[in-house]
Copies of this chain bind each other. A is one copy, B any other.
Amino acid sequence: MNAKSDLFCAAVDWGTTNMRVWLLDRSGDVRESRSSDEGMRAAMPDRFEAIMEKHLGQMGAPVGLPVIICGMAGARGGWVEAEYMKTPADLAAAHESAVKVAHATRDIRILPGACQMDDGREDVMRGEETQLAGAVAGSRTSGIFCMPGTHSKWAQVDEGRLVHFTTFMTGEMHGLVSKHSILRDTLGEAKADAENPAFASALDEMLEGRGFTEALFSIRASALLKGVEAGDLASRLSGLVIGSEIASAKRAFEPEEVGLVAAGPLSDLYRAALARADIHAQALDGEALARRGLFAAAQSFWGNT
């Protein structure tokens, strides 16, 4: 008996720097999965289909298996542009704004991102809306979500609708300061540690309303004046960037509890930081959320066939 015969679809989360592919059965369970660093940057402008077919072939996906995709493949300059859903957006209706890839050998749908048009609060996401749809499909239909990363997102979902969201350039700011600023040599390769008191005190400063660009230079000055160690400085920098995000988000979203979509070291830092801000964090698995959101959309397309 061929284990691949009861596959339902392939699901792809195509990020900027990475991509993940799953083969799912009719229950949404994973039969095969793989990830690679062939993100949007590697795939632009015309390697999307070749990369996808390569992975599907290696995973033994049948020729006619349909594919559902979220993320940067739908960006302008990606594979095929999928317009944004506007907030407030019904997350379970993403499939209605999906695009179908023309002239493909199989049925391939790319899900839309989400956008917010408010003046001064314009914002966009691609991929996170599918994770949020996955949360909704998993009966977490209302709540506030904290999704850390290069461009951290905070999102408010009410009864399955994405009401409001904000992008914080937290991870990118950390990279800019540690790789390109005058603090670069001071910081070196040291890593932040959630247990380091310098992380906590930096968080407190930001939560008390101190300005980010104001506190930053103390990293250099404290190294110069007091010989503070690189590990303490790195923890302080992470405390400042993450604290700046959480302080702003706390004012904007007034959360008592958030769903925290993070993994690895970032998850440790954010859990510690949210606790310090008196915000209860419930850990969520971002990969599982994306997969569930993709599966829910796939069911809308192909569930009755």
Enumerate chain A interface residues (CB-CB to B < 8 A): 76, 84, 115-117, 120-124, 151, 166-170, 172-173, 176-177, 180-182, 201-202, 205, 209-218, 220-222, 224-226, 241, 244-245, 247-249, 251-252
Contact = CB atoms under 8 A, between A and B. Distances in A.
A225 B176 contact: no
A244 B121 contact: no
Contacts of A177: 176
28 contacts: A117-B225, A117-B226, A120-B201, A120-B215, A122-B218, A122-B221, A122-B222, A122-B225, A123-B217, A123-B221, A166-B214, A167-B221, A168-B214, A168-B217, A169-B181, A169-B182, A172-B181, A173-B216, A176-B180, A209-B251, A210-B248, A211-B212, A211-B248, A211-B251, A212-B244, A214-B248, A214-B249, A214-B252
**Most chain-B Cβ atoms within 10 A of its Cβ — which of A180, A182, A209, A217?**
A217
Contacts of A247: 211
A168 B217 CA distance: 7
By secondary structure, the A interface counts as helix
Nearest to A177: B176
A124 B221 contact: yes
A226 B170 contact: no
B245 A211 contact: yes
A88 B246 CA distance: 34
A291 B180 CA distance: 33
A123 B218 contact: yes
B168 A221 contact: no
**Count of this chain's copies in the oligomeric assembly:** 2
Contacts of A124: 220-221, 224-225
A218 B169 CA distance: 10
Contact of A213 (B168, B201, B222, B225): B168
A222 to B, nearest CB: 4
A54 B288 CA distance: 68
Nearest to A174: B213
A175 to B, nearest CB: 9
B211 A244 contact: yes
Given A151-B217, A168-B213, A213-B245, 8 more contacts: A120-B202, A120-B218, A122-B225, A124-B225, A151-B182, A172-B182, A210-B248, A211-B244
Contact of A115 (B169, B225, B251): B225
